[in-house]
Amino acid sequence: MQHDEVIWQVIRHNHCSFMAKITTGNFCRNPYNITGVCNRSSCPLANSRYATIRDHDGVFYLYMKTIERAHKPNELWERVKLPRNYEKALEIIDKHLMYWQKFLVHKAKQRLTKMTQMRIRMRKLALKTREKIMTTPRKEIKRESRREKKAETAAELDKSIEKELLERLNGGLYGDIHNILPEHFNKILDENELQAVSEDEEYEEEPEIEYVQGYDDLEEEDDIEDFGGFAIDKSLKNNDDAPEDEEEMVSVDGKRVKRRSESAHQKIEEDERRKSKKKAKVLVEVEHEDASERQRATF
């Protein structure tokens, strides 16, 4: 049978693994302690009837212990989930701790308020962007720096050996027959091709500029239309004796044709005038044996 006073005398005066003695006072490390202070009223081990509030991943639970379950350690604590609403959580505490000690009811409510305020502050801090302070492992940094130096020296050595071998190969030191790994051979070929392409691009001449006659198709179409208008105009001249109604219809339907035919007539007349002007004059000189005079004739 459990006796609270005997348990407290043993814990307080002999030894308790949860007690932490500090100059300011004695504190309790037990997670079920409602106040965190080591005293008779708030000790969860020395009180057969006890209540507290705990947090599990942001969710608050009300824990209650009674003497009827003291003989069952796996069912010693009764747990009740509290809602996120602060007022509803207080109502549930009042409901389950109706006939309990006022000290436990008051401390449970006080713990609930402190935990809700702490949760609100945690959310606000999570939203803010803060600098994260991290330690720099010196041993790892030194180890990585040594490895980098060794890798650089090894790479320089490999490159120098490769250059020396290529110079000997190009100089003809190994003769005509030599064994080369296919990977290195392909690499050399690719480098030579890239160099050749770059040289071709550097010495590439500027593109030639050509001038091409434009609007050929449009001129041919205009000539065809002029020729058609000229033929239509001739046919209209030949048919002067046609009735007036037909002449009006032709004039209405072929306004554009008549205008083009007139322009074609004007072009033909101008070409004839130019040809007549451009005809060369021929000078003929006639000499007679008896006379010393010369006669000139123009044709």
| 171-218 tens-digit pLDDT | 777 666 566 667 766 777 787 787 776 665 555 555 556 655 555 555
82 in a structural domain? yes
From 128, 161, 186, give the residue that closes a domain. 128
79 in a structural domain? yes
Whole-number average pLDDT of the chain: 76
Distance CA 86, CA 103 (A): 20
Range of the domain at 122: 48-128
Domain shared by 112 and 61, yes or no? yes
CATH code of 41's domain: 3.30.390.110
237 in a structural domain? no
Total number of domains constituting the chain? 2
- What predicted TM-score, i.e. pTM, was given to this entire model? 0.45
Answer yes or no: is pLDDT of 150 > 80.
yes
From 65, 93, 128, give the residue that closes a domain. 128
Distance CA 170, CA 186 (A): 16
210 in a structural domain? no
Domain shared by 61 and 40, yes or no? no
pLDDT band per the 50, 70, 90 thresholds, residue 30: very high
Task: Calculate the CA 286 to chain-centre distance.
Answer: 98
Domain shared by 76 and 120, yes or no? yes
Domain shared by 35 and 53, yes or no? no
Which residues lie below 8 Å from residue 257, measured CB to CB, with a gap of 6+? Answer: 228, 229, 232, 233
pLDDT band per the 50, 70, 90 thresholds, residue 250: very low
For 216-243, how does the pLDDT look when each residue is reduced to its tens digit (9 = 90+)?
555 555 555 554 554 445 544 455 444 4
From 82, 101, 128, give the residue that closes a domain. 128
Distance CA 131, CA 259 (A): 88
Residue 275, classified by CB atoms within 10 Å of its CB into exposed (0-12), middle (13-18) or buried (19+), is: exposed
